[in-house]
Structure formats: C-alpha cells, structure tokens
C-alpha cells in the first residue's frame, strides 16, 4: 500500500512523500522521534501519522490470516445467499405488490419509490413504518421505524387509522389460523405502534445531511430500528440548489451513507421521490426527479403510476427482481390489493 | 439550525480554529462538502474530519418525536385537533375534521367555478368566534387577481350567520379581521410574504389565503426553467410559514389547456404499448392545473372544483387522509354549500381530471330562470 492512500492531511502527506517515504513498509520500522526530525513536525504529530500508518498496515496484513474470509470484509456468495434467505421482508400489506417485490421491502437494501402527486407515496411510506412493527409471531420484523419528513406530509391521524387496521388484521389472522395457540395473543395497541415511529421533521437540506450523518449514532442507541423512510428525499434538493454539480456530489454522499446504514444495521431504507418531466426522444415523458446520476444510487427503484382506473407499481430497476407490475389500491385501511384484480400480475 | 455557527459548536479548539481560518463558518458550509474536500481544504486527517462532522451533524440534526407524542401534542394544544371545519359537512368528515393546519391546501378549477367564493367563505369562518365554529383570529388574504369583494364577504356573512352580522359592531369587527393584500408583482408578493412571516405570530393570524398563485407566476415569466426556479423559493417559504405557525394555508390555482406534448406517461409505459393507450389516457377535458407537477408535489391537499354536465363538483384529488371523493355543490347567496354530504368515490384518471363541460349551461340556465 502506498503513502498517498493514507488518510492523513494533505500537507502531512506532502511532507512524507518529499522526505522519501512512498510506501507503508518504509514507515513500519521508523521511530516517531526520527520521523518527527525528518519531516520537521512535532513528535505528537509524527506519532499520529505512525498510528494511522500501522492501523492501515495491520488492516492489510489481516488479509492473509483468518480462515473463513480470505479477504477482509468480503463475504462469499454462498453465505450471502443464506443470509438473504434468512432475512424477513417488510410486507406492504398488498399481496400482489409483495409478490413482485419478492416478499416485500428488503432489508439491507435501499429502495426508492416514486410517482406522481396523489398516487400514494406517503401512504406507502406510513404503511411500511407501521408494518415493520408486526411481531415475529406474525411473520414480521418486530422492529421500530424512523420516519424522516421533509415535506410536512406525514399525518398522524392517517398513521393511527393504518395502525388500527393492521392490528385488526392481526387479530383476524389469530382467530382463523391459530385457534390453539393462545400464547400469541396480540398485546399491541395502536398507541404502541405510533410510539415506535420516530418522527424527524427536516426543514432544509443541511438538516437532511446532518440527520443522515447522525442516524448512525441514533440507530446504535435504538438497535431495534428496522426501517428508515425518507419522505421525500427530493424536496429540499429540488429548491435550494444553484450548483448542480454540488447537488450531485452531496446527494451521492448521502446515498452512500444510507446504503452503509442499511448494511451495518441490516435495516431497510425507503426513499420516496418526486416526479419531473424529461425530454427524451423528442417527447416529454415523466421520470423520477434528481437526475440521471441519482438513478444509479438506489438498489431498487419502484415507480407508482396510473394505469386506466388503477394504481400500479412497476419495478423499474432491481438487481434481483424481474421487471413486473402489479395493481394495488389505497383504502381507508391502508395499502391493499386492488379490489378488482384477483390474478392480474403481469410479467413483462 | 442549518445556519448554526461552527464557532458555537463545542469542537476541539484546534479543529474549530481551522474551520474559522478557512472561512467555513456555518454548519451549512461544512455539510455541503464531502469528507475528502474538507480534508483537502482544512489540511487535517480523515479521523479529525469525521469526528468534527459527526459532532456538527448531531447538533444540527433536529430532535425526534414519536408519532404518538406528536398526536397527543396536537390534540392538547390545538383547536379541534389541528383541523379547520369548512362548514361543508361531507367534505369535513372526509378530511378528518376539515382543512389541516400547518400544510398547504390547494383549490384548483376553471374560471368562475367558485374558488374565490370558497376562499371568501373560509376567511369569514376563520374570523368568527370559536363558538360559531371559527378560529377567532385574523386572516391574511393575498388577493393577486383583485377579485376580493368585501361586499360579497358581508353578504355571505349575513346569510350564513345572521345573528352575528345583523349587529353592526359585530359585523365591523369580523370584517375588520380580514386583511387584504394586493401585490402587483412577484417581487412585491415576495416582500409581503417576508413581512407576514414576522408578524404572523404576534398578530393572532389564524389563516392565510393566496388567491391565486398561478396568476402571480404567469404574469411574470415565460414557461421554462426560470419559472420553475422562481416558484421553488416561494413553495419552500410558504410551506415553512404554514409549518411553523401551524395555521391552515389556502392557495388557489388556475387551469390551462393541456399542451399537446404534455407528459403523462413514463418511458416504460410508452414502450410497452405503442401509443394505443396513449390516446385513451388523454383526458377528454384537456384541462390541467396551471402550475406544474413540481407544485403539485408540494401541496398536501388538493381540492378540484369542476363542472360536469351542468353540475358543479368539489373533488378531493390529493389528500393523505381522505379517499378520492366528489361532492356536488352549488353557490348561493350564502356562499358555497354542498347539495349532498354523500361523496362519490372516484376511480383512476377521474381523480385528477378537471372538467369544464356544461359550466356555461349553469350560468345560462340561471340567466333564463331569472328572465
């Protein structure tokens, strides 16, 4: 490993290189006082450099040790498959939608959901924040939810309605399928569900970045958070930017952090996005906002749209799922299967 | 919090000095840069940058609330749980009690359908004492199109609440609570918005009406990028205004005819069925809201006022609480009122379409009957 990859400041790096230290191994046998003299820096600073260097060096040398993983931090495909199979998905409460999603919203992945105003993005967001709390006994995750509201469109009244319906459904399920199991009675109340949704209201893009930086710490303190919903990721980034290159950089940095959170705490990240019009092939078409480079950042991308009289979800991008569309409907009880469709899933 | 000064954040002295020396004075400046840009700029190591950024982030990030505490708080502190009843019973029950506080509610519809009538009625209601279902506060009415009529306001008052408006002093007090601003240009509008922000809380303002948003923008600029950007600032500002003062904000929007190359489909839809459906999804009415999709995302509730085969309807086209419902209404001397409190459930494109058929018939019909 070479010196220029060390995470030290630019001037320290410059000094190291000009003093002839180009590889890490050249730093391994030198004492801090010698280094301090050679670089003309204070001894404590030299010690810091050596610490950083030995840290990255030992990180490198671990590569050869350890029997299960040959490369540090790597995981083989077989293990990954098993891990993926053991993960529980978050149901959307619409069986058709779950079906095309391969069981629901995936943990450890970033899922982007976009659509025209009024199609039901916020509804789906609230539904997911409620459904993540379905206990293990009922095939859920039994986790908590973080809801980041950038637009002020979160409605507590609506969350309450959806939570009540969710509990009703669970007790229904209890009655029909588990007559003999008295043990798993539902002790959840709609109030408990609301109490497990952590709601953040964001008023500027700076706050949005700050919050996403801070989430790492927050989730470490609240380990049972299993989903982060951002409604919507777009709003502030659409208004306050003049410098589009800066916007792209900030956005991709944010997306990376979210992806890292998803992997680290094995939780699902759901980003809601708005729609814009785009000129392509000579005609205006609808497309999700934030531009082309943003569309690379999410693992899955789902577009909600009107098809005739029904709301449809279409998998626009996914590394593992077939592109398919399914109808759903927004009812007073939340997201459900489309009423008129029994078997309407169409594979494309 | 975004403009929090870095000097006020308890960072280690050495790092804080570096930030100051490089002229990165606010949290916004620091957080707009990536870690590596900061390393270059500040000339410090990655670990220092990371720990400084996480400290800044922790302070700038807003505190959380659970949805439960949010609900309890709203029910305790706010009149009627944060909803303002419009007096139209069917609509109120669909919207969980009325027009929500703290967010934008949009009225969109063709000219002469009754948007201003609805606004007048709402302003009047908001000024009434609470025992009459009002908010007992002042109303700011930004009248862009010069359509506000105080005569009509008092007429509606007299017909709907004769017990109040027959007394001259009461009528004077109620009407005295409605303040009308008439900005003639976008920059004037911007100015008055900024003034409003300052005085909103001090002056017991309980509702803000903007009639109409579209007139402001269409008068100033041509279509295109610039127009979008001008509006962006206003969208943000009005939303935050509504949010921090927790009052209902009513904004009206005009309609325009759909231009031929209007986007209504995604690229994958076009590919999958070659233009056959395309003609079908075109709404037969050819009317769309004047402000585009960006604006439509920003409003929380959209009510469409339309006329269909000689009957006026008010539709809940976008709402986080209500299913899409349509209510027939008519406008009488006492203002807007529903003919039936039973809403008709809407499906598919019907929800967002804006009809204007038979609208003239209503007027002609009335004329005939008068003769």
Q: The domain that contains B281 carries what CATH number?
A: 3.40.50.300
Helix (H) or strand (E) holding A320: none
Report which of residues A346 and A72 the model is more confident about. Answer: A72
Specify the pLDDT at position A27: 78
Task: Please indicate, yes or no, if residue B73 is contained in any of the structural domains.
Answer: no
What ipTM score was computed for the predicted complex, to two decimals? Answer: 0.81
Name the 3-class secondary structure at B250.
Answer: strand
Asked if the structure places residue B66 within a domain, the reply is: no
Kindly state the average pLDDT of the residues B291-297: 84
Residue B358 region by backbone torsions, left for phi larger than 0, else alpha for psi between -120 and 50, else beta? left
Q: Which residue of A has its CA nearest to B232?
A: A239
User: Average pLDDT of A262-276?
Assistant: 91
Q: Are residues B253 and B134 in the same domain?
A: yes
Label residue B252 by pLDDT band (50, 70, 90): very high
Q: What is the rounded average pLDDT of the residues B203-208?
A: 88
Residues B242 and B360 occupy one common structural domain: yes
Rounded to whole angstroms, the Cα distance separating A280 from A305 reads 19
Q: Is residue B13 part of a domain?
A: yes
User: Cα separation of B94 and A33, whole Å?
Assistant: 76
The model's confidence at residue B221, banded by pLDDT at 50, 70 and 90, is: very low
Can you tell me the mean pLDDT for A183-212? 84
CA distance B268 to chain A (A): 8
* CB-CB contact of A122 with A272 (8 Å): yes
Percent of chain A with pLDDT over 70: 89
The residue that leads in pLDDT, A82 or B328, is B328
CB nearest to A210's CB, from B57, B243, B300: B57
Output the pLDDT for position B230.
67
Q: Which residues are within 8 A (CB) of B298 and not within 5 positions of it... i.e. 6 or more apart?
A: A151, A235, B104, B235, B239
Contact A285 B240 (CB under 8 A): no
Best probe of the A interface among B263, B302, B352, by most A CBs < 10 A, is B263
* Higher-scoring residue by pLDDT: B201, A58: B201
- Split at pLDDT 50, 70, 90, the class of A40 is confident
Residues B115 and B43 in one domain: no
For residue A212, the model assigns a pLDDT of: 92
CB contact under 8 A, B61 and A207: yes
Residue A222 has pLDDT above 70, yes or no: yes
Contact A206 B28 (CB under 8 A): yes
Per-residue pLDDT, B263? 64
Mutate to test the interface with B, among A16, A153, A224, A225 (most CBs of B within 10 A): A153
Q: Any idea which of A11-25, A66-80, A225-239, B356-370 has the lowest mean pLDDT?
A: B356-370
CA A230 – CA B241 distance, rounded (Å):
22
- Which candidate from A122, A157, A316 shows the least CB-CB separation from B268? A316
Please state, in angstroms and rounded to a whole number, the distance separating the CA atoms of residues A226 and B344: 39
Highest mean pLDDT: which of A272-286, B34-48, B302-316, B355-369? B302-316
The band of A217, judged by pLDDT with boundaries at 50, 70 and 90, is very high
Distance from A250 to chain B by nearest Cα, in Å?
A: 6
What pLDDT is attached to residue A342?
Answer: 42
Q: For the residues A242-252, what does the mean pLDDT come to?
A: 83
Which residue on chain B is closest to A11 by alpha carbon? B43
The pLDDT of residue A123: 92
CA nearest to A8 within chain B? B45
Shortest CA distance from B316: residue in chain A:
A118
Q: Are B217 and B358 part of one and the same domain?
A: yes
pLDDT tens column, B147-166: 898 889 989 988 888 888 88
Are A284 and B263 a contacting pair at CB < 8 A? Answer: yes
Contacts of B233 in chain A (CB under 8 A): 239
Relative to beta strand B104-108, strand A324-331 is unpaired
Least confident of A204-218, A326-340, B74-88: B74-88
Q: Does residue B177 share a domain with residue B51?
A: no
Among A103-107, B200-204, B211-215, B263-267, top mean pLDDT goes to: A103-107
Domain enclosing residue B225, as ranges: 80-370
Lowest mean per-residue pLDDT among A46-55, A266-275, B179-188? A46-55
Distance CA A324, CA B23 (A): 51
Contact B302 A286 (CB under 8 A): no
From chain A, the residues in CB contact with B281 under 8 A are: 306, 308
Q: Tell whether the model's pLDDT for residue A63 goes beyond 70.
A: no
Is the pLDDT at B371 greater than 50? The verdict is: no
Mutation target to probe the B interface, by most B beta carbons within 10 A, among A158, A239, A273 is A239
pLDDT tens for each residue of B54-73 = 889 988 888 888 988 888 88
pLDDT at B260: 58
| pLDDT for position A58 | 59
> For residue A242, what pLDDT is reported?
74
- pLDDT of A20 reads 80
Write the pLDDT tens digit of every residue in A128-173: 999 999 988 888 888 999 999 988 888 888 899 999 999 888 888 7
Q: Which site among B67, B103, B271 would you substitute to test the A interface, given the most A Cβ atoms closer than 10 Å to its Cβ?
A: B67
- Sort strands A225-231 and A268-273 into parallel, antiparallel or unpaired: parallel
- Residue B43's pLDDT is what? 85
Residues A52, A7: contact at Cβ < 8 Å? yes
A304: left (phi over 0), alpha (psi -120 to 50) or beta: beta
More confident residue, A253 or A27: A253
pLDDT at B365 over 50: no
Among A74-78, A195-199, A298-302, B130-134, the range of highest mean pLDDT: A195-199
Question: Do B49 and B87 share a domain, yes or no?
Answer: no
> A156 vs B45: CB contact, 8 Å cut-off?
no
Q: In the predicted model, what is the mean pLDDT of residues A222-229? A: 92
Q: Which of A35-39, A310-314, B258-262 has the lowest mean pLDDT?
A: B258-262
Residue B71 lies in a domain: no
Average confidence score pLDDT of chain A: 82
From the list A155, A211, A305, the residue facing B321 with the nearest CB is: A155
Does the pLDDT of residue A268 top 90, yes or no?
Answer: yes
Whether B265 and A209 lie within 8 Å, measured CB to CB: no
Length of chain A: 348
Residues of B in contact with A205 (CB under 8 A): 2
Residue B40: predicted pLDDT: 85
Are residues A207 and B62, on separate chains, in Cβ contact within 8 Å?
yes
Total of domains in chain B: 2
Residue numbers in A near B29 (CB within 8 A):
none
Is B42 within 8 Å of A9 when comparing Cβ atoms?
yes
| Residue B318 Cα, gap to closest chain A Cα (Å) | 5
B297–A307 CB contact, under 8 Å: no
Look at residues B71, B75, B56, B62 and name the one whose alpha carbon lies nearest to residue B10: B56
Percent of chain B with pLDDT over 70: 85
**Do the Cβ atoms of A207 and B1 come within 8 Å?**
yes
Q: What's the whole-number mean pLDDT along residues A2-9? A: 77
Binary contact (A309, B47; C-beta < 8 A)? no
Quick one: average pLDDT of B97-115? Answer: 90
User: Higher-confidence residue: A341 or B315?
Assistant: B315
Nearest residue of chain B to residue A284 (CA atoms):
B263
- Predicted confidence (pLDDT) at residue A344 exceeds the cutoff of 50: no
pLDDT reported for residue A28:
77
Rounded-to-integer distance, Cα A62 and Cα B176, Å: 78
Same domain, B210 and B340: yes
Is residue B139 domain-shared with residue B27, that is, in the same domain? Answer: no
Domains in chain A, CATH or no CATH each: 8-61 (1.10.150), 82-347 (3.40.50.300)
pLDDT at residue B102 in the model: 87
pLDDT digits 0-9 by tens, A275-325 = 888 777 777 788 888 888 888 888 899 999 888 888 899 998 888 888 889
Q: Which of B60, B232, B349 is closest, CB to CB, to A206?
A: B60
Give me Rg for the CA atoms of chain A: 25
Region of residue B368 (phi > 0: left; psi between -120 and 50: alpha; otherwise: beta): alpha
**pTM reported for the whole predicted model:** 0.82
pLDDT of residue A345: 43
Claim to verify: residue B103 and residue B217 sit in the same structural domain:
yes
In this predicted structure, the answer to whether residue A343 has a pLDDT above a threshold of 60 is no
Residue of chain B with shortest Cα separation from A117? B297
Statement: residue A262 has pLDDT above 70: yes
By DSSP bridging, strand A110-115 and strand A268-273 are parallel
B363 plus B262 within the same structural domain: yes
Write out the DSSP string of B270-331. HHHS-SHHHHHHS-TT-EEESS-HHHHHH-SEEEEEEEETTEEEEEEEE-SSS--EEEEEEE
Same domain, yes or no: B43 and B100: no
* Count of C-beta atoms within a 10 Å radius of residue B24: 19
| Residue-level pLDDT at A285 | 80
Tokens 């994958």 correspond to B268
CB A130 within 8 A of CB A94: no
What is chain B's length? 371
The arithmetic mean of pLDDT across residues A10-18, rounded, is 83
Are B102 and B39 found together in one domain? no
């Amino acid at each position: 490993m070479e010196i220029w990859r060390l995470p030290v400041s630019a001037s320290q790096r410059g000094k190291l290189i000009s003093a002839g230290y180009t590889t890490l191994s050249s730093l391994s046998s030198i004492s801090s006082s010698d280094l301090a003299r050679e670089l003309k820096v204070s001894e404590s600073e030299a010690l810091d450099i050596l610490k950083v260097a030995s840290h990255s060096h030992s990180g490198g040398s671990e590569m050869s040790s350890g029997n299960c993983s040959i490369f540090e931090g790597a995981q083989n495909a077989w293990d990954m498959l098993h891990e993926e199979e053991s993960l529980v998905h978050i149901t959307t409460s619409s069986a058709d939608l779950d079906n095309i999603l391969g069981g629901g919203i995936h943990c450890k992945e970033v899922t982007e959901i976009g659509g025209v105003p009024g199609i039901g993005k916020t509804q789906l967001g609230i539904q997911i924040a409620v459904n993540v709390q379905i206990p293990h006994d009922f095939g859920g995750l039994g986790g908590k939810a973080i809801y980041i509201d950038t637009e002020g469109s979160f409605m507590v009244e609506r969350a309450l309605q959806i939570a009540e319906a969710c509990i009703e459904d669970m007790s229904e399920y209890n009655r029909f399928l588990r007559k003999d199991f008295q043990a798993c009675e539902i002790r959840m109340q709609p109030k408990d569900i609301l109490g497990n949704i952590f709601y953040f209201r964001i008023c500027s893009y700076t706050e949005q970045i700050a919050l996403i930086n801070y989430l790492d710490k927050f989730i470490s303190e609240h380990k049972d958070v299993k989903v982060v919903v951002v409604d919507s990721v777009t709003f502030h980034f659409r208004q306050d930017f003049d410098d589009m290159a800066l916007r792209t950089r900030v956005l991709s940095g944010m997306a990376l952090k979210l992806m890292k959170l998803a992997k680290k705490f094995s939780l699902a990240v759901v980003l809601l996005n708005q729609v814009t019009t785009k000129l392509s092939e000579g005609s205006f078409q609808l497309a999700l906002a934030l531009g082309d480079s943003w569309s690379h950042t999410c693992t899955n991308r789902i577009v909600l749209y009107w098809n005739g009289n029904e709301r449809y979800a279409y998998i626009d991008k996914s590394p593992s799922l077939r592109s398919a569309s399914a109808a759903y409907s927004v009812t007073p009880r939340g997201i459900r299967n489309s009423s008129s469709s029994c078997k309407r899933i169409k594979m494309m | 919090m975004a403009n929090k000064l870095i000097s006020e954040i308890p960072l280690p002295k050495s790092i804080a000095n570096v930030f100051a020396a490089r002229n990165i004075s606010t949290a916004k400046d620091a957080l707009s840069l990536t870690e590596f840009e900061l390393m270059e700029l500040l000339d410090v190591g990655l670990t220092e940058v990371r720990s400084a950024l996480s400290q800044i982030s922790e302070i700038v990030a807003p505190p959380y609330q659970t949805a439960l505490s949010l609900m309890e708080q709203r029910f305790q502190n706010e009149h009627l749980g944060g909803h303002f009843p419009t007096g139209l019973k069917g609509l109120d029950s669909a919207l969980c009690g009325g027009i929500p506080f703290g967010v934008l509610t949009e009225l969109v519809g063709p000219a002469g359908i009754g948007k201003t009538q609805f606004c007048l009625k709402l302003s009047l209601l908001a000024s009434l004492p609470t025992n009459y279902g009002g908010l007992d506060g002042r109303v700011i009415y930004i009248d862009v199109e010069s359509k506000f009529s105080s005569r009509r306001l008092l007429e509606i008052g007299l017909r709907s609440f004769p017990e109040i408006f027959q007394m001259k002093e009461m009528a004077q007090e109620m009407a005295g609570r409605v303040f009308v601003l008439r900005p003639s240009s976008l920059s004037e509008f911007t100015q008055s918005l900024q003034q409003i922000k300052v005085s909103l809380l001090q002056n017991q303002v309980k509702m803000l009406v903007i009639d109409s948003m579209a007139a402001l923008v269409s008068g100033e600029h041509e279509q295109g990028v610039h127009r979008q950007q001008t509006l962006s600032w206003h969208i943000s500002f009005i939303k935050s205004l509504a949010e921090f003062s927790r009052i209902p904000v009513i904004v009206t929007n005009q309609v325009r005819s759909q231009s031929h190359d209007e986007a209504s489909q995604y690229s994958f839809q076009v590919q999958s069925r070659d233009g056959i459906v395309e003609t079908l999804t075109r709404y037969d009415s050819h009317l769309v809201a004047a402000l585009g999709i960006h604006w439509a995302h920003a409003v929380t509730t959209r009510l469409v006022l339309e006329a269909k085969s000689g009957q006026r309807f008010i539709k809940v086209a976008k709402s986080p609480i209500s299913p899409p419902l349509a209510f027939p209404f008519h406008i009488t001397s006492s203002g807007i009122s529903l003919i039936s409190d039973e809403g008709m459930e809407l499906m598919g494109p019907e929800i967002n379409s804006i009809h204007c058929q038979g609208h003239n018939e209503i007027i002609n019909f009335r004329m005939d009957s008068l003769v």
